[in-house]
Amino acid sequence: MSSAVADPRIVSIASRDLRAEISELGAELVRLQDGDGRELLWNGDPAYWTGHAPLLFPIVGSVKGDVIRVHGKTYPLQRHGFARRSRFQCLASTASRCQWRLASSSETRAQYPFNFTLDVVYEIVGPRLEIVATATNTGSERMPVSFGFHPAFHWPLPYGRPREEHAIRFEMPEPLAVRRLENGLLAPHLFASPVHDHTLALADDLFRDDALIFDRLASRKVTYGAATGGAAMGPQLEVAFPDMPHLGIWSKPGAGFVCIEPWHGFASPTDFDDELRTKPGMAILPPGDAQAFEMKITLRR
């Protein structure tokens, strides 16, 4: 499951408008370019953060003590789960589409005692990259699961506008309070929404206390790019996530990226130390059932 000595295989897919590279390590999107070769995705500079767009499975965020409880037993499970450090099998690839699979093994069951497959399909259609991850319960008992996307986009985007003009515009008003992390877990306190008139103006100060967590999200689509007074200035990235009920937005002060993270699930509350199936935000899959998690990234010119 962990990376081996050999470099991971990289698969490229493209249209005239977009080009993407996906690594077998984590089935992670590691490069996204527009049709002119301009970089849209963070380059993984280790001075700030080595990720690009990891997939979060079977949990999102951290659990107390980095252990989960299943039927009274404890299992070690690190932040965001193990999929991002696992080698996926490439089942198929064409010029514009590739499909990857991670299946349960003795190594995964030592951390998460369930049988599953996680299938991830990437497809480029014109200016849109579609990603669908499907978790299937291949075992004989109900399976609690979370899943999250974690793409890091260049901040600023490579279209000549300064960093301070960039913003995230939400599809719907987001007046409800947001959450923050406390030692990696979901803090009990509520914080006033930083979204005003559908818009989150990006600034380093937003991320001095880690991520913004929208656990009562109305929107299922946001648009990211340079804006003034709510009006777009230059190309924008639209991130749509029709079936994902939660959203994290994260960066590090001074870093050249902002992560727009559609989630189904979030970190454990600071006072939660119970069975995984009762953890807030989990989906529960009966034996033989599957659940799909979808994100679409569209370059809007």
What is the DSSP annotation of 167-189?
EEEESS---S-BB-EETTEE-S-
At residue 4, the pLDDT reads: 46
Question: Which one, of 274, 235, 295, 30, lies nearest residue 152 by Cα?
Answer: 30
Q: Is the peptide bond before 245 cis (omega within 30 degrees of 0)?
A: no
Spacing of C-alpha 38 from chain mean position: 22
At residue 5, the pLDDT reads: 57
One-letter amino acid of 297: I
pLDDT along the chain (301 residues), means of 10: 71 98 98 98 96 98 98 98 98 98 98 98 98 98 98 97 96 98 96 97 96 98 89 91 97 97 98 97 98 98 89
Rounded-to-integer distance, Cα 81 and Cα 15, Å: 32
Q: Which residues make Cβ contacts (< 8 Å) with residue 94, sequence separation at least 6?
A: 13
At residue 56, the pLDDT reads: 98
Rounded-to-integer distance, Cα 87 and Cα 75, Å: 21
Which residues are paired to 101 by β-bridges?
89, 119
At residue 217, the pLDDT reads: 98
Rounded-to-integer distance, Cα 27 and Cα 86, Å: 8
At residue 2, the pLDDT reads: 47
Spacing of C-alpha 197 from chain mean position: 25
155, 161, 164, 167: CA torsion to nearest 10: -70
Which structure tokens are listed for 113? 């005692």
Mention the CATH class of domain 10-300: mainly beta
Question: Which one, of 95, 96, 106, 138, lies nearest residue 119 by Cα?
Answer: 138
pTM of structure? 0.96
Evaluated on CA atoms 210, 214, 219, 221, the torsion sign reads positive
* Count of CB atoms situated within 10 Å of the CB of 34: 19
